[in-house]
Structure 1
Amino acid sequence: MKYIRTDNPKEEEISEIRNKLIEYNLSHIESKEVKPIAIFVSDEDDNKIGGISATTHGNWLEITFLWVDENLRGQKIGSKLLKDVEEEAIKRGCKYSFLDTFSFQARDFYIKLGYEEVFTLEEYPLTSKRHYFVKELMENK
């Protein structure tokens, strides 16, 4: 056996490990389909001014990125993006949503929109905090 340490791994090396882990994980869970969702907002010149990306897997929506241009914040663009991606996730059968944010980003925004903080990593990476949230998208029946 050889152990190789590197500060500069190749993307294909990381992908190989990721793909092997995904293969293993999918062999142990009932819902194997992971589907992406993305919604983009552009200005008149087709410049991106906002967007959200996420995946759905089983009954969970996992939000990866939500961004709105700093000059346009406070105009409910982020709220609409979040609401629209949640609606699509519900159509796909999702009951819950998961996301994380840094303390200098949008913690209060997510709380205002119904997300519940479930844990926080302190001093992440050094002076910030990383907050993790969940939200129930539809009542369990």
Structure 2
Amino acid sequence: MVSRMFRLETEVDKARRDLLRTRLRDTNTAASPVLRALRGTPGERELPLHVWALGEDGELAGGLVGHTWATWLHVSHLWVDERHRGTGLGSQLLAKAERIARRERGCASARLETWDFQAPDFYRKKGYEVVCVIPDYPPGVTEYTLTKQLG
């Protein structure tokens, strides 16, 4: 009989996190024909994609943080300083990231998450479509997942 005793830990451990991600990727790759086909191609790697807007004084005016993987751009964060909102800077940051993802990394689609008080209408105007709505996440807020074909 095999012992089922485990020690559970909650510490932050980068080495274990990386090991877990590697093992999960390997398990998923073995189980998925699509992921197996990506094996060894540039699209297999998750590559960071950052776009920064700096003012004349060098201060951060806005930025986009995301990554590309498997022909997808995933936008994690898009922020514009309050002084620069309404100037088109957010649109420029998003357009630059989409252009890099499409032209330089072969991405066909983009995805992101946003909350109801943030920017779902901004993204809809940029061609994104809502594919998932999670009410009360966090409590009192609705989260949206949106996607766009980068054509």
Q: Do they fold alike, i.e. is TM over 0.5?
A: yes
2:8 partner letter: I
Detail structure 1 runs of 4+ shifted over 4 Å in the superposition. Answer: none
Aligned to 1:63: 75
Q: Hey, what's the Cα distance between the residues in 1 that align with 2:100 and 2:55?
A: 23
Query: Radius of gyration: which is bigger?
Result: 2
Q: 1:5 to 1:25 in 2, by over 3 A?
A: closer
Structure 1 residue 32 displacement after superposition: 2.4
Provide the alpha-carbon RMSD of the alignment.
1.5
Residue ranges of structure 1 left out of the alignment (5+ in a row): none
Q: 1:21 to 1:32 in 2, by over 3 A?
A: farther
Aligned to 1:84: 96
Aligned to 1:2: 6
Q: Percent identity?
A: 34
1:19 aligns with 2:32: no
Q: Hey, what's the Cα distance between the residues in 1 that align with 2:7 and 2:136?
A: 31
Q: Hey, what's the Cα distance between the residues in 1 that align with 2:130 and 2:17?
A: 28
Q: Hey, what's the Cα distance between the residues in 2 that align with 1:76 and 1:129?
A: 25
1:75 aligns with 2:75: no
Q: Deviations over 1:71-124 (max 9, x none)?
A: 211110000100000000002100000100011100100000000000111011
Q: Hey, what's the Cα distance between the residues in 2 that align with 1:55 and 1:44?
A: 27
2:92 partner letter: K
* Residue pair 1:32, 1:57 contacting (<8 A) in 2 also: yes
1:70 partner letter: E
Q: Deviations over 1:45-93 (max 9, x none)?
A: 1110100011111210001110000121111000010000000000210
Aligned to 1:137: 150
